[in-house]
Amino acid sequence: MEQIDYPDNYGAIDEKKFFDYDKSKFVILPVAYEGTVTYGKGASKGPSTIIKASQNMELYDEELDKNNYEAGICTLKELEAVASPEKMIDEVEKAGSEIIKDNKIPIMFGGEHSISIGLVRALKKKYNDLSVLQLDAHADLRQEYEGTKFSHACVMARVREICPAVQIGIRSLSFEESKVIKKDKLPIFWAKDINNNEEWFDKVIDKLSDNVYITIDLDVFDPSIMSATGTPEPGGLNWYLVIKFLKEVCKKKKVVGFDVVELAPSGDISCDFLAAKLVYKMIGYLS
């Protein structure tokens, strides 16, 4: 797979031993796809924008007292977008399978949320006990939306056909989705219940299997700090609560991959930087 080298790679890492594919623990797969986006546009520019913002980060992590990049971070070239969401998911699965086969931890930059299905499929082939942790404003449990079962609005319905999932930060859904949640007793942690406390951390973690994939839709954050998404829902979570929770998950479970999706760049570079720094924090917690 073709990679991006210094100075255009994630973090603008300039020492080859820390961005070479063979030596890297983490491999970034940018997927600039927004084929089913229904409101605010621009998610296809998310991956390149995250990479650009990352090139302006300090690479020393003051919380962890280390240079997170020294675990090795390879950045691949963007996966070519195709028109059909189902075919795009197939392409993600294929690319993800190559990364996983090489015993790397895949990190996917979106793009719209539907692409997560492909990487979950790829990881399920290796990890039979896989579960998915979703951080998101939206339940994304529709069976079909605007003529396709593979819309961003259906991503968690498709994921739940592959493996169990726990959803946190939710604050927007349809009446039909609410009925599914009640009927199936799905583990949902509503934003209104968790936004100002940590009492839910262990309750979420206990519901996850040993091997976990984390999918982070950036609209999980409150729009006061993350407005650059297609549907910035009020009442989201704050930065320190989210990273403290993610640190606990990474400590207590084996996180085998993650994605950050739905950045729709708006010109507010603080949002771009938040996304880039969130990825770097996760790399630090996992290395």
The pTM of the full predicted model, rounded to 2 decimals, is 0.97
Range of lowest pLDDT (62-76, 140-154, 156-170): 140-154
Give buried/exposed letters for 252-273 (b at 16+ CB in 10 A, else e): ebebbbbbbbbbbbeeeeebbb
Do the bridges between strand 73-76 and strand 211-217 make them parallel or antiparallel, or are there none, so unpaired?
A: unpaired
Whether 83 shows a pLDDT value over 90: the answer reads no
Rounded Cα–Cα distance for residues 266 and 168 (Å): 25
The fraction of the chain above a pLDDT of 90, given in percent, is 94
Structural domains of the chain ordered from first start? 3-286 (3.40.800.10)
What pLDDT shows up at residue 40? Answer: 55
Answer for the pair 245, 202: CB distance below 8 angstroms, yes or no. no
Rounded Cα–Cα distance for residues 226 and 218 (Å): 7
Answer for the pair 145, 226: CB distance below 8 angstroms, yes or no. no
pLDDT tens for residues 104-141? 999 999 999 999 999 999 999 999 999 999 999 999 99
Q: What is the mean pLDDT of the chain?
A: 96
pLDDT tens for residues 193-247? 999 999 999 999 999 999 999 999 999 999 999 999 999 999 999 999 999 999 9
Q: Which element (helix H / strand E) includes 254?
A: strand 254-261
What pLDDT shows up at residue 39? Answer: 60
Q: Which two tokens stand for residue 49?
A: 């924008």
Answer for the pair 285, 246: CB distance below 8 angstroms, yes or no. yes
